Amino acid sequence: MQAIREDGSASFVGIERVTSSIAERRGSFLLQDAGTLEANIVQGDWFVIPGSGTGELAGLRGEGGFAAELG
């Protein structure tokens, strides 16, 4: 979901399902993210939703952030 303001900047939130393998352990998990877009810069934070890991990724934890220039 995103909210675009009159000046063109925006805020966003989302949940993404990731199906992958990490260190040869297979499964899936959910990431929750939130961030902003201002001028050409998108930035935000994310975390693994507790209890969302499946298969060999059950119990996975983590958090992080990102920043990038568009274009």
**Cβ neighbour number for residue 48 with a 10 Å cutoff:** 19
The single-letter code of the amino acid at 23 is: A
Each residue's pLDDT tens digit, 8-31: 899 999 999 999 998 999 999 999
pLDDT of residue 2: 84
User: Where residue 39 sits, what CATH number does that domain have?
Assistant: 2.40.350.10
The CA–CA distances, whole Å, from 40 to 17, 46, 55, 68 equal: 26, 20, 38, 8
Determine the pLDDT at residue 43.
97
The predicted structure's pLDDT at residue 8: 83
Is residue 4 scored above 90 in pLDDT? no
Domain that holds residue 58: 2-69
Contact 11, 3 (CB under 8 A): yes
Q: pLDDT tens across 40-63, in order?
A: 999 999 999 999 999 999 999 999
- The structural domain count of the chain equals 1
Residue type for 53, please? G
